[in-house]
Structure 1
Amino acid sequence: MLPHPTRKALPAPAPWRLAAVALASVLLASCGGGGGGGDGGGGAIQINTLSNRADLVSDGDALVEITAPPGQIDKGLLVNLNGANVASSFTRQGNGRLVGLLTGLKTGENTLEVQFSSRGIGQSERLVITNAPRSGPIYSGAQVKPFYCATPTPQPASGSTPATNGSGLSGQPDANCNIPTETKLYYRTTTASSGTGACSLAIPDPAWNSDGVNGTIPAQPAAPANPCWKPYTAGTTPADMATITTENGRTLPFVVRLERGTMNRGIYDIAVLFDPAKEWKSTAPQAQWNGKVYYSFGASTGQPRRQARPTATAWSAQEEQLKRGWLVVGNSMTDSVKNSNRVLMTETVMMMKEHIIDTYGPIRFTMGTGCSGGSINSNMNLSIFPGLLDGVVTSCTYPDSETTTLEVGDCTLLVEAYQKTRVLNLWSSMGLTQSQINARKGAINGHPDQSGCQAWYNAFGSNGRPGVYSQRTVGALGNGAQRLSDWDTGTIRTVPFETNNCELPNTAVYNPANPTATANLPRCNAWAWGESIWGHIGTTATPQDTRDNVGVQYGLKALLAGSITVEEFVTLNEEIGGTNKDSELRAARTQADTAALETAYRSGIVASGKNLAKAPIIDLRGWDDSNINVPPGQNPVAVNSSGTGLSGNTIPIHHQWYSWAIRDRITRDAGDANNQALWRFARTGLAAPGTVGLEAFNVMDQWLTALVTEPSNRSIEAKVRATRPNEARDFCLKPDDTTQSNRIYDMAVCDADPWLKPAASPRQVAGGPRSEDVLKCQLKPLNRSEYTGVAFTDAQWQRMQVVFQGGVCDWSKPGVGQQAAQSPLTFRNGPGGQPLGDAPTSTRF
Structure 2
Amino acid sequence: MKNLNPKSVTWVLSLCTCAVITACGGSDSPAINAPSLQVLSSKPEFVSGGDALIDIALPPVHETLSAKLNGADVSALFKVDPLRPGHLLGRLTGLSTGDNTLTVNVGGPDSKLVLTNYPISGPILSGPQISPYNCQTEAFLLPDGTLLGKASDVKCSVSTKVQYLYQSTAGGALKPLPSTTSLPGDVATTTTTAGATVPFVVRVETGSMNRGIYQNAILHDPTKDAAPSPTTPPKGWNRKLIAVHGTGCAGGWYIQGAAMGVSPYTGTNLKRLGEGYAVFTNTLNHPTNSCNATVAGETTMMGKEHFIETFGVPTYTVSVGTSGGAYTSLQVGDAFPGLFDGVYIDATFPDALAIAMSAMDGKLLNRYLTGNNNSAITDAQMVKVSGHKSARAWYDLAVQSGRTDPVSGRTETIPVAGSFGGAYAAGLFNAAVPASQRWNASTNPTGARATVFDVNRNVFGVDASGYGLRPFDNVGVQYGLAQLNDGTLSKDQFLDLNEKIGGYDRDGNYTSSRTIGDAGAIARAYQSGLMLGGNGGLASIPVFDTSNFYDEDNFYHYQWFHFAVRERLRKVNGDVSNHVMWRGGVSFADLFGVVTPGRTERAAVSAKSSADGWAAFVQWIDAYTADTSTKTQKDKVIVNKPAQAVDGCFTQSTTPQFLAETQTPATSGAAGSCNAIYPTWTYPRAQAGASIAADKLKCQLKPIQTKDYNVTFTTAEMARLSAIFAGGVCDWSKNGVGQSSMVPYASFGPSPVNLVFDVTKP
Q: TM range, normalised to the smaller chain? A: 0.7 to 0.9
Correspondent of 1:179 among 158, 161, 166: 158
- Equivalent of residue 758 in structure 1, options 677, 680, 699: 680
The reply on whether 1:535 has 2:461 as its aligned counterpart is yes
Whether 2:507 is the aligned partner of 1:582: answer: yes
**What are the superposed Cα offsets for residues 703-758 of structure 1, whole Å, 9 maximum, x if unpaired?**
111111212222222221111111111111133x3432353447686456344232
User: Residue 562 and residue 679 in structure 1: after superposition, are their counterparts in 2 closer, same or farther (change >3 A)?
Assistant: same
Q: Report the Cα offset of residue 246 of structure 1.
A: 1.1
Partner of 2:133: 147
Match of 1:770 among 689, 692, 704: 692
Secondary structure of 1:826 counterpart: coil
Partner of 1:811: 732
Q: Does 1:78 align with 2:24?
A: no
Q: Does 1:595 align with 2:527?
A: no
Residues 755/832 of structure 1: CA separation in 2 closer, same or farther (3 Å cut):
farther
Aligned-partner Cα distance in 2 for 1:708–1:493: 46
Task: Tell me the SS of whatever aligns to 1:726.
Answer: coil
Asked whether the equivalents of residues 585 and 606 of structure 2 are also in contact (C-alpha less than 8 Å), the reply is: no
Structure 1 residue 438 corresponds to structure 2 residue 419: no
Q: How far off its partner does 1:228 sit? A: 4.6
Contact kept, 8 Å, 2:534 with 2:572, in 1: the verdict is: yes
- 353-362 or 663-672, which deviates more: 663-672
Does the CA-based 8 Å contact 2:743-2:754 persist in structure 1? no
Q: Deviations over 1:324-344 (max 9, x none)?
A: 100011111111111122111
| Distance in 1 of aligned mates of 2:135 and 2:716 | 60
Q: Write the distance in 2 (CA, Å) between the matches of 1:321 and 1:251.
A: 14
**Aligned partner of residue 469 in structure 2, secondary structure:** coil
Give yes or no for contact 2:239–2:316 (8 Å, CA) kept in 1: yes
Equivalents in 1 of 2:77, 2:439: separation in Å? 51
Q: Distance between the aligned counterparts of 1:404 and 1:114, measured in 2?
A: 51
Whether contact under 8 Å (2:101, 2:115) holds in the other structure is yes
Query: Equivalents in 2 of 1:754, 1:95: separation in Å?
Result: 57
Q: 1:333 to 1:592 in 2, by over 3 A?
A: same
Give the partner amino acid of 1:456.
Answer: L
Greater relative contact order (Cα < 8 A, sep 6+): 1
Select between 232-241 and 723-732 the one with higher mean Cα deviation.
232-241
State whether residues 44 and 123 of structure 1, in contact with CA within 8 Å, keep that contact through their aligned partners in structure 2: yes
Instruction: Please say if 1:254 is aligned against 2:200.
Output: yes
The code of the aligned residue for 2:510 comes to: L
CA distance in 2, matches of 1:503, 1:541: 23
User: How far apart are residue 494 of structure 1 and its match?
Assistant: 7.9
- 1:473 and 1:353 map into 2 onto residues whose CA distance is 45
Pick from 252, 257, 261 the counterpart of residue 311 of structure 1: 261
Does residue 474 in structure 1 map to residue 408 in structure 2? Answer: no
Matched, 1:129 2:115: yes
State the SS of the aligned residue for 1:799. Answer: helix
Note the 1:617-766 alignment, pairs <5 A: 617-622=543-548, 624-627=550-553, 651-682=554-585, 689-735=606-652, 737-745=653-661, 750=672, 753-766=675-688
Structure 1 letter corresponding to 2:486: A
Q: AA paired with 1:134?
A: I
Judged with a 3 Å threshold, the aligned counterparts in structure 2 of structure 1 residues 721 and 348 are, in CA distance, closer, same or farther, namely same
Measure the CA separation in 1 of the matches of 2:260 and 2:674: 40
Whole-angstrom distance in 2 between the partners of 1:623 and 1:182: 37
SS at match of 1:315: coil
Q: CA deviation at 1:832?
A: 12
1:354 paired with 2:305, answer: yes
Q: Structure 2 matches for 1:427-576, cutoff 5 A?
A: 427=377, 437-458=378-399, 460-472=400-412, 474-476=414-416, 483=417, 500=429, 504-512=433-441, 514=442, 518-537=444-463, 539-576=464-501
Is the Cα contact below 8 Å between 2:478 and 2:688 reproduced in 1? yes
Would the aligned equivalents of 1:610 and 1:669 in 2 still touch at CA under 8 Å?
yes
From the superposition, tell whether residues 580 and 69 of structure 1 become closer, same or farther in structure 2 (CA, over 3 Å). same
1:324 aligned to 247, 259, 275, which one? 275
2:41 corresponds, among 47, 51, 57, to 51
Report if the CA contact (8 A) 1:305-1:502 is conserved. no
Question: Aligned with 2:45: secondary structure?
Answer: coil
Q: 2:101 aligns with which of 86, 103, 111?
A: 111
- For the Cα contact (< 8 Å) 1:500–1:506, is it kept in 2? no
Q: Is the 8 A contact 2:651 2:657 kept in 1?
A: no
- The one of 159, 180, 195 equivalent to 1:234 is 180
Partners of 1:366 and 1:390 within 8 A in 2: yes
Shift of 1:830: 9.0
Please tell me whether the aligned partners of residues 362 and 395 of structure 2 are also in contact (alpha carbons under 8 angstroms).
Answer: yes
Contact 1:441 1:449 in 2 (8 A): no
Structure 2 contact 550–587 (Cα < 8 Å) conserved: no
Question: What code does the residue aligned with 1:306 have?
Answer: I
Give the CA deviation at 1:831. Answer: 11
Cα gap change, 1:564/1:520 in structure 2, threshold over 3 Å: closer, same or farther? same
Q: Distance between the aligned counterparts of 1:781 and 1:130, measured in 2?
A: 52
Whole-Å separation in 2 of the counterparts to 1:321 and 1:315: 9
Unaligned runs of 5+ in 2: 24-32, 592-602, 664-669, 758-762
- 1:149/1:809 CA distance change after superposition, 3 Å: same
Please say if 1:780 is aligned against 2:702. Answer: yes
1:68 to 47, 58, 68: 58
- Give deviations 1:237-282, integer Å, cap 9, x for gaps: 4343221111111112211011111111111221111111221212
Q: How many angstroms apart in 2 are the aligned matches of 1:237 and 1:77?
A: 41
Q: 1:682 touches 1:755 (CA, 8 Å); kept in 2?
A: no
Task: Please state whether the residue corresponding to 2:403 is helix, strand or coil.
Answer: coil
**1:626 and 1:21 mapped to 2: Cα distance?**
42
Given the superposition, is the C-alpha separation of residues 684 and 450 from structure 1 closer, same or farther in structure 2, using an over 3 Å criterion?
Answer: closer
Q: Secondary structure at the match of 2:149?
A: coil
Deviations 1:51-102 (A, max 9, x none): 1111111011111122332431xx3122221222211111133744321111
* C-alpha distance after superposition, 1:360-407 (max 9, x if no partner): 111111111111111110110122112211101110111122233321
Q: How far apart in 2 are the matches of 1:238 and 1:22?
A: 34
Give the match for residue 607 of structure 1. Answer: 532
CA distance in 2, matches of 1:97, 1:389: 24
- 2:340 is matched by which residue type in structure 1? L
Q: Deviation string for 1:540-586 (max 9, x for gaps)?
A: 31222211111111111011111222222122212221111111111
| Residue aligned with 2:623, SS | helix
Which residues in structure 2 correspond to 1:406-417 (within 5 Å)? 406-417=357-368
How far is the alpha carbon of 1:126 from its aligned partner?
Answer: 2.3
Partner Cα distance (2:300, 2:35) in 1? 31
Q: Residue 579 and residue 88 in structure 1: after superposition, are their counterparts in 2 closer, same or farther (change >3 A)?
A: same
SS at match of 1:175: coil
Distance 1:830 1:543 in 2: 22
CA RMSD of aligned residues (A): 2.9
1:170-209 equivalences under 5 Å are 170-192=149-171, 199=172
d(CA) in 1 for partners of 2:21 and 2:412?
64
Does the CA-based 8 Å contact 1:151-1:167 persist in structure 2? no
**Alignment correspondent of 1:840:** none
Q: TM-score, normalised by structure 2?
A: 0.88
1:99 maps to 2:89: yes
Query: CA–CA distance in 1 between the matches of 2:747 and 2:21?
Result: 27
Using the size of structure 1 for normalisation, the TM-score is 0.79
CA distance in structure 2 between the aligned counterparts of 1:232 and 1:416, rounded to whole angstroms: 60
Paired residue type of 1:721: I
**Aligned to 1:613, what secondary structure does the other structure show?**
helix
Aligned AA (2:410): S
Offset of 1:835 from its aligned partner?
A: 6.8
